[in-house]
Chain A
Amino acid sequence: MDRRSFLKAALRGSAALILAEGIGDILRPASIHASPKPLRWVFLVDTYKCIGCGFCVKACKIENEVPFEANVSRTWVERYILTKDGAVFADTPQEARNGFTSRLIDLGEGRVKDIPQEKIDKAFFVPKLCNQCEKPPCVQVCPVGATYKTAEGVTLVDRKWCIGCGYCIMACPYGMRFFHPLLHVAEKCTFCYHRIQKELKPACVQACPAGARRIGNIKDPQDPVTQIIMTQRVSIHKPEYGTNPQVYFIGLSEEVR
């Protein structure tokens, strides 16, 4: 091989590599077989309505067989207290599976703090659950194809396929994933996939006595949840990550992380 033919081959080779980089786009089947079902599950959380009873967490853990006494949960409720001198306190004692039954703030490591009523500027509860992102980073990092986004937009974990490497747990900017204490695989909220398929509400939505949690189909313009999302002032959690989360909040404050 002379220098000329070597250079030619090198040029052809790098051109082929650049083309191969774009193969993912060429092979994307979604653009070829457009989903016939116009369905995309979304969630709406009204933080004004939440009373911090924690029935959602209890129902979720029982419905989805997450050990009740273990300190992990697919959903939880956070309490935020903003004092008049500018301090922010947040806690979620045992993921609020037993609700908020005390006015003492759990500071962790067994320490608690009592904030007198007259010092409180704002105080509210924020239920949290998987955002079922349109661009889920947890799915991108899975090395074995165990976690995936369904056509309806819900991200699931294939328990038979998961090798328990924990990449997805590290990748989620919202901390929604954890190891199932008994199955030793990655675990996350599924919007109660088994229930919404049967046209039932997710366990947390059904258990909520305050109507703070709602589920809907963003593709259906008649859906009341869609109408609220499209016409009212809603916000999403951590938009700066570019994950395009699909859990919308009413009354989300900047202190909420």
Chain B
Amino acid sequence: MERKVCVFICSGCGISEAFDVSKVEEASKEATPRPAVVKVDPCLCGDDGFLAMSKVIEEEKPTHVVIGACSQRLFQDRFSWNGVFVERVNLREHCAWSHEPQDVGTLELAQDLMRMGIAKCGKAEMPEPHVEEPSETVLVIGGGISGMTAALYAADAGYGVVLVEKDDKLGGFARNIYKTYPSAPPYDKVAENPVSGLIERCETNPRIKVLLGTTIDEISGAPGKFSVKAGGKEFMVGAIVVATGFRPYDIKKLTHLGGGVLPDVVGSDKFEEMLMKGDVRRPSDGREVKKVAFIQCAGSRDKEHLPYCSGTCCLTSLKQANLFVNSGEDKEAYIVYKDIRTPAQHERFYEAMQNDPRIMLAEGTVKGVMKSDGVVRVEVENSPTLTNMQIDADLVVLALGKVPNSDGPILNLTYRKGKELPTLKYGFPDSNFICFPYETERTGIYTCGCVRQPMDMASCMEDAAGAAMKAIQCIYATSRGAAVHPRAWDMSFPEFFLQRCTQCKRCTEECPFGTLDEDAKGTPMPNPTRCRRCGVCMGACPERIVSFKDYSVQIISDMIKAIHVPEEFEEKPRYVGFICENDAYPALDLAGLNHLKYSPLVRFIPVRCLGSVNRVWIADALSRGIDGVLLIGCKFGDDYQCHFIKGSELCNKRMENVQEDLNRLALERERIKLVQLAINDYQKLPQIVNEFVESVNALGMNPYKGF
């Protein structure tokens, strides 16, 4: 279809007070590609303005519409027409509201912003979704509480499930749990273990196929069409849930507490087994145990062992103490702790145990555990002023933390980026994002239960519901060609012009999600359903062969070329700013909302992620006489905020390589600057922008103007 562009400019909300809109209209009329129509309206979002705009669109039937008005974050549903590419140009928050009204700089900025928005329409197209018919089966790896619950939820939702368990029976660690602490009212009594009920339901559910004594040999493919080889069978699944659980911390590493050294010092897992048998006796001499001492945080919250807290050991010890003292006459339990962590309604259970005179709680640090005359002596320091306490017990139980079973092989992916899910801190294949707990680094593969984070059985079951939801959602998104979180609306996908590929492998290496596999030569093999549409591959490619229909190297280059760069003698510097849509763009909006003013010399170009910024854009900008480039994106580093894991970090690294381009052009390195910003930092924006402009102005004009 023939390209046709209609341009609408809103003069409301203070825009006409900030600059002469007729001059912006003029500039738009002369832009490239030449618009068929340019109309100004005092209020495009108002009933009259919107009606007028809709009428023009109905009559003109444009392929592209450019709206110069408020932020693209507003009126998204309103300003959209079926099949029409809409480009929003921010003349309000990023222009009229944040610069001096009636200043020539403000007008020139508005003109350039419109030229850039119109230029985008030169090559941008509406994306055509890459639709696949996905498998409606979910693979669950791990048949413990978490895995079984995820399987049951998925089955209940109408999906087929293959539940793979490496042991010869279902149940996982929970098989060795006698009773559990309460998660339901009245919260004060020990509760039944739900595992046997879950096993029965899984074994009898017609949609769940259980493969026991099985591990995964290989998984290839992508969301919607993972090809799984396991236990001599081969089958397709749409999404995967990893629920491989945990193992207790190795007690033999806790020699300072008698672990692995004294026979009557046992782990909480062993003690649970003893309670289940019903007869608690000392391992050394078989004598009946009358007095138990629990040591909390044994090898947890400890830099030498597990630095994190497993969250469940306090309640577990309280439960075990309760079971123990009720298992016979004259039984006593001591619990030595640093902090008792019984959050929320669990406080009720703690209260009930505190009220039991047979259970004694002592806060303090364990100084030593030693054999002493037929007992085990625990020495506790609980006050800087009093002498240490000594507890003589028949048996000492070390409350052991949870180590995730994340060290493979679990998935055996044939991905170029690796066989297993990357883990975060401490070995947990968790999400880095507090707000998005299921967002792993591999699309379509989710984790739940203790492999994701240490948690109790009730929480495992909740977590499994969450992971099952995400697995189902992924299958649905695949059937529509849509991306999964965070760009859940995005129907575009990257296309590779492989004829020009030089097999440099930058894209296959740098894709944060392992979307690209490689053939023997190193040519990328894209898997569109793995793709999160961030464009990091596009930013990586030195040959510029990667593009999206609505977002490409060429499209942004055209925007840069549309900027009007005054001749050197006019002494009007010009800058380009690449702003990440996730944090930087909204921050600029907030700065505008608060009428914070800054230099009008920077032309901001929104990008999906700083990771999608291609080096050629910098070179293009500089060789045209643009004086400097500012890049504003999300935080990277240990506690990264970048939603595409390494996007902004890669951009930062690439900017160091851009030094070559600068050297070639004999330009100073200070002309490029990358800034990490979060939305709430918006008040810093004027300083950030102004300091950048001032520091580069001091270097003098870019000598390439007018070339």
Do A and B assemble together? no
Interface residues of B (CB under 8 A from A): none
